[in-house]
Amino acid sequence: MKHSQTLAATAALAAIAFILPEIAMASGEEVVSILEGAPKPSRGDYPVIAGISARTIAWSLAQMHLFLAAFVLAVPLFAISTEMMGVITKDDRYDTMSREFMKITMAAYSLTALVGGGLLLALLVFYPHLMGYMIKVFRGQMLIYAALFGLESITLYIYFYSWDALRRGNRKWFHMSIGLVLNTVGLTLMFVANAWTSFMMSPSGVDAAGAITGTVWEATRNPLWNPLNLHRFLANIAYGGAIVGGYAAYMFLAEKRAEAKAHYDWMGYTSNFIAIIGFLPLPFAGYWLMAEIYAYSQQMGITAMGGILAWLFIIQAVLIGTIMLAANYYLWSGLMRTDRGAEYAKYVKYIAVVIVGGFLVWVTPHSLVLTPSELQVLGGTNHKVLGPLGIMPAKNTAVNLMLVMTFLSFQMFYRSSRVATVSWAKQGNMVIIALYVIGIANIVGAGIYGYFTPTVYKVGASVPQVTTTLMIIVASVVIDVLMLRGAKTEKVHWGRMSERSQYALFVLPVAFTWLMGLMGYIRSSLRTNWHIYTIMKDNSSEAYIPTIGEAGNTITAITLGFMAIMVFVFWLSRLGATKQSEPKQEASS
Amino acid sequence: MLGNKWVVFVVALVVWAAFFYSMDKFIMEYQGLPVGADMMPV
């Protein structure tokens, strides 16, 4: 694409972006009660087509769309960050990697739109009353969504295809500004879609019968909108990082050339770093979302964490524990890239003990599902020793310690290639060690404190735990940055990595996908037999919470489907870079 | 430069302990949960 064409296209985009808020304002001003209330469809009003399970179809398509959308929205977010890193450090590797990130996104983008279209059709066919009502509540916003989607497509294509044309000098800044527009549009798209989802859980801008009483903005700004926005934003970063990490592992294993292996090893490390950066604050965003769910409706909160869905949180713990173990294992394996890495290897076993211990605490249920004879032997549903580990103070302590240890694994690798040269290096190390000792004691202490105080204090004490974890990370980074200024750097042998470690990188996207499917199901099921909580009842034949086994099978099938798509996308990206060799000249010619 | 590393370690332990204690107290009180009125039977 020529520079002038790019400029013209960007100017057109800017004009559209300028007009969009006008449309949004117009839709917001239309404050009229246009409905008596939400529709009340009877069972006969739900179309039944060839005995197909409407819920399973909508569930699968919605989840698949979310997986793909999370990925294609997240990758440009960190692609622009790594592109910026390339400009700051003047290291071309960042730029090449950013472009490669986008290449994978391009392959997945059309699939996102395809599945999104499929979801819309499925909803219109199987749930026409619900969709009719939602369109009336959100009015012009749905058109804005469509316009934004068009804008997203245009900016995405320009951003990717103009990469080499706008690679150096001032043109690079222009290119990054296109990326900024792309990300702004992408995030806005997500926030709009989140408003519809969160409206179904915590409707606002309507009265108790569902009659529209407020503006579109009031319906958008419902109680769970922002907690969901933050949670999805962070989760998307972590998820996108994990998937491109899987791609890097795929390429690392497929490539034979040492140079290419070094590149994909570095890409895998960076992707894992991005995934962990997104993942570290995620439990806290999840905690906020859950707290807001409780604040909005205690019944909804108890359904999640005290009812049938509570058991799924145990599976969640298993998956998060798997992610932690895999990410840490990958980091420990990375110590072999540096000659000084072996010096740090002796500490790995202690970190492993904390992570495995934390994992075991996290998966310990508070009460057990038992047969009458087991109940008799145990003397109740709570185990005398392990039962106390099933409540939140123990789990909060476990997760915070696991996060601190994961950060420590990162720090060890970072330091393994740097030798501090400042005169106060030994003292600086002591300050960091003291920080870890006291910080960990504070996290454990706040956990124990929760056992001796009323519930309100128990919940309140989780905040200092989180803050302590963040303080350990921030203070360590600050001291490290100061201490390692002018440090003697040692060579990192990128590519000197075991093949086994690459399978840990594969574990991450699989576990993340499963986890998102599981938690998405829990969040959606909180509405129980309501399409829109307390406003519009689901009267279809499938208005019940499926058994854990049925839900688990459906989530697993969707996960497998998505992973198959991802392998296809990876293969496609590799195929695009493969060139057939020149035909050999015939000896006779 | 800053003295014996073990002296620094002990001082750092005390300083961090004071810091985290103050932080905990501030956060709990900010949430309307004054420390001292908390040790009630569960």
Cβ distance of A426 and B20 shorter than 8 Å: no
Judged on CB neighbours under 10 Å (0-12, 13-18, 19+), A14 is exposed
**Interface predicted TM-score of the whole assembly (ipTM), two decimals:** 0.91
The residue of chain B nearest to residue A461, with distances taken between CA atoms, is B28
DSSP H or E run through A489? strand A488-489
Chains A & B: contacts with CB separation below 8 Å: 72
Chain centroid, CA A63 distance in Å: 13
Q: In whole angstroms, what is the distance from residue A391 CA to residue A394 CA?
A: 6
| DSSP single-letter state for residue A582 | P
**Contact A243/A477 with Cβ under 8 angstroms?**
no
| Residue B42: predicted pLDDT | 45
Q: 3-class SS at A412?
A: helix
Neighbouring residues of A285: CB distance < 8 A, sequence distance ≥ 6: A227, A230, A231, A234, A235
**pLDDT single digits (tens) A263-300:** 999 999 999 999 988 988 888 898 889 989 999 999 99
Q: Determine phi and psi for B23, rounding to 5 degrees.
A: -65, -45
Amino acid at A286: G
Length of chain A: 589
Nearest by CB to residue A463, choosing from B6, B9, B27, is B27
Contacts of A295 (CB under 8 A, 6+ apart): A223
- Contact call for B24 and A442, based on CB within 8 A: yes
Q: How far is B36 from chain A (nearest CA, A)?
A: 11
**A27 to chain B nearest CA, in Å?**
38
CA distance A85 to A90: 8
- Could you tell me the two tokens for A295? 């604040």
Spans in chain A with pLDDT lower than 70: 1-35, 585-589
Nearest CA in chain B to A441: B17
- Looking at residue A22, its pLDDT comes to 53
- Residues, chain B, total? 42
Q: How far is A442 from chain B (nearest CA, A)?
A: 7
> In A, which residues are within 8 Å of B40 by CB distance?
453-454
Q: Is there a contact between A570 and A104 (Cβ–Cβ < 8 Å)?
A: yes
Q: Are strands A488-489 and A530-532 parallel, antiparallel or unpaired?
A: unpaired
| Partner residue facing B40 (CB), from A451, A454, A461 | A454
Q: Is A471 on the interface with B (CB under 8 A)?
A: yes
Q: Render pLDDT for A93-123 as a digit per residue (tens, 0 to 9).
A: 999 999 999 988 888 888 999 999 999 999 9
Check CB contact under 8 Å for B16 and A461: no
Taking an 8 Å cut-off on Cβ atoms, the answer to whether A456 and B33 are in contact is yes
Specify the DSSP element, H or E, that contains A42: none
Confidence at B38, pLDDT banded by 50, 70, 90: low
**β-strand A488-489 against A418-419: which pairing, if any?**
antiparallel
Taking 3-state DSSP, the helix, strand and coil percentages for chain B, each rounded to the nearest 5, stand at: 60, 0, 40
Q: How many helices (H) and strands (E) are present in chain A, helices listed first?
A: 21, 4
